[in-house]
């Protein structure tokens, strides 16, 4: 670690943010945050207890009425100031994400741009919350339909996009008039703590946003979720954890938003523009080191173009630079921890044992840090674990098909349904894929679909609810109907 990095990290808050104040965890407990590229501890921060979690909820509840009554324009202005502060500190935010998560600086800068857009988008949506008014059909009264904030909300965010996952939840909640408690992932909590500091600078009132960091996620989250004062739960993470949280939320009949696992198909038809398909594959697979729920997991390529496609992506992959994300020219940083490396090795090994061939990579790298080579595997056969499980690493697995119906069957052969990618120059076929592929999102001849102005979310076991777009703010609003006699 350089002296500049050490000096910068020393400025990042290391306490809990509750009720507008930075406070130590109960009993002074702490946890360590690591740099995955070296394995070194980069910051020691507060480790919240269940009691700390309830204190954070207390603060959110206390602030709820006043924040809901705050003028929409004022909420809008605060979010816009937060956007401006994120842009002003973009280099600091990018460096912080690279240090705690490992992604290359260029990608961290991209996340700052993407994550910041949720602040700008929902600052504009805050003043557009509307309802309707009109006579009922019988003529006996006038109907007023209005929207009110859901109330105190609890967010559990993942480690892979530390800023964007926070802004994607916090911005619509604040725009709608809800207060929040945020529990960032234990592996990458520093970005959220820094962002909380920026929100305070932007003028977010005390108690409206509270951040608790902890190594005991279920122990701290459980009492918050079971508290009858909580009205909303939003989680981004694995499907098994999401299923447990949904069950917990059911007791309080909480509004829930779940962005869960993915197993995205990347379908390349025989008429595809291979230049675009290869470019799209590199983005869809290797963005964020493959550690994204939207990452292409299963490359389903028409048999007539599979050999050329496989060779071209393998050539691109062999040329990728692997290293610490702060180094110039690095395209692939470390995986988040040893378990991620072991999973990549296991999935590739299983595919090879079943007859697949490695065209590039295929090995963990020796030395410090948790690095795995960017990898291309072709000839993956049905039944391989790599086709069923979310890889969450830089491994591109290719199988083939011969007919359109077969491609659709293979693409839909999963319990997940977050996103799909399709490459074809046949417009009619593209429209058929929109209708036939069972996913909440689709990229047609593009490898990245995420945008703050678009609804993000999946179907089947990839979750429920939408984040972003016109739809995003409605996750934090209840509809209220009032009848006024004529």
Active site residues: 259, 293
CA distance 138 to 133: 15
Tokens of 43: 């910051």
Q: Do 376 and 348 form a contact (C-beta atoms < 8 A)? A: no
Q: Which residues lie closer than 8 Å to 359 by C-beta, 6 or more apart?
A: 310, 311, 314, 317, 376, 377, 378
Q: Do 425 and 274 form a contact (C-beta atoms < 8 A)? A: no
Indicate the helix (H) or strand (E) that contains 320: none
Tokens of 26: 């109960």
Q: Do 200 and 350 form a contact (C-beta atoms < 8 A)? A: no
- Minimal CA–CA distance to 369: which of 416, 399, 321, 336? 336
Q: Do 230 and 251 form a contact (C-beta atoms < 8 A)? A: no
Bridge partners, 480 (sequence order): 146
Q: How far is CA 263 from CA 185, 412, 415, 456, in A?
A: 22, 10, 8, 15
Tokens of 181: 């408690």
Q: Which residues lie closer than 8 Å to 193 by C-beta, 6 or more apart?
A: 12, 13, 14, 17, 45, 184, 211, 213
Tokens of 330: 């690095």
Q: What is the DSSP secondary structure assignment for residue 383, as one 8-state letter?
A: T
**What's the Rg (C-alpha) of the chain?**
23
CA distance 94 to 399: 36
């Amino acid at each position: 670690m350089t002296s500049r990095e050490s000096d910068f990290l020393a400025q990042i808050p290391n306490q809990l943010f509750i009720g507008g104040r930075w406070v130590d965890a109960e009993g002074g407990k702490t946890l360590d945050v690591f740099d995955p590229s070296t394995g070194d501890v980069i910051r020691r921060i507060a480790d919240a207890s269940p009691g700390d979690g309830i204190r954070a909820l207390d603060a959110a509840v206390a602030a709820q009425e006043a924040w809901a009554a705050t003028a929409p324009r004022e909420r809008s202005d605060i979010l816009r100031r937060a956007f401006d502060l994120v842009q002003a500190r973009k280099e600091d935010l990018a460096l912080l994400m690279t240090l705690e998560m490992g992604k290359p600086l260029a990608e961290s800068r991209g996340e700052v741009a993407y994550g910041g857009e949720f602040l700008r988008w929902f600052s504009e949506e805050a003043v557009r919350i509307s309802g309707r008014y009109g006579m009922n059909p019988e003529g006996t009264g006038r109907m007023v339909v209005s929207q009110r904030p859901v109330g105190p909300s609890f967010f559990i965010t993942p480690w892979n996009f530390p800023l964007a996952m926070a802004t994607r939840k916090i911005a619509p909640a604040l725009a709608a008039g809800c207060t929040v408690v945020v529990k960032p992932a234990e592996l990458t909590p520093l970005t959220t703590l820094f962002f909380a500091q920026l929100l305070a600078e932007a003028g977010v009132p005390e108690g409206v946003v509270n951040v608790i960091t902890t190594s005991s996620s279920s122990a701290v989250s459980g009492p918050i979720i079971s508290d009858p004062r909580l009205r909303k739960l939003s989680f981004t993470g694995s499907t098994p954890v999401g299923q447990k949280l949904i069950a917990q939320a059911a007791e309080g009949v909480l509004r829930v938003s779940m962005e869960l696992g993915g197993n995205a198909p990347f379908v390349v038809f025989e008429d595809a523009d291979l230049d675009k398909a290869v470019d799209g594959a590199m983005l869809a697979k290797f963005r964020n080191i493959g550690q994204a729920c939207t990452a292409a997991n299963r490359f389903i390529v028409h048999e007539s173009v599979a050999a050329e496609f496989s060779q071209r992506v393998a050539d691109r992959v062999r040329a990728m630079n692997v290293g610490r994300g702060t180094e110039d020219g690095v395209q692939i940083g470390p995986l988040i921890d040893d378990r991620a490396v072991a999973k990549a090795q296991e999935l590739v090994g299983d595919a090879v044992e079943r007859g697949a061939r490695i065209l590039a990579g295929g090995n963990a790298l020796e030395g410090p840090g948790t690095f795995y080579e960017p990898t291309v595997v072709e000839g993956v056969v049905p039944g391989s674990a790599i086709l069923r499980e979310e890889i969450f690493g830089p491994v591109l697995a290719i199988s083939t098909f011969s007919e359109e119906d077969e491609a659709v069957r293979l693409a839909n052969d999963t319990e997940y349904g977050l996103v799909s990618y399709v490459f074809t120059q046949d417009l009619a076929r593209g429209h058929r894929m929109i209708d036939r592929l069972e996913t909440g999102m689709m990229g047609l001849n593009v490898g990245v679909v995420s945008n703050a102005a678009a609804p993000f979310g999946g179907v089947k076991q990839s979750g429920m609810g939408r984040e972003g777009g016109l739809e995003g703010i409605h996750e934090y609003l209840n509809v209220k109907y009032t009848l006024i006699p004529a």
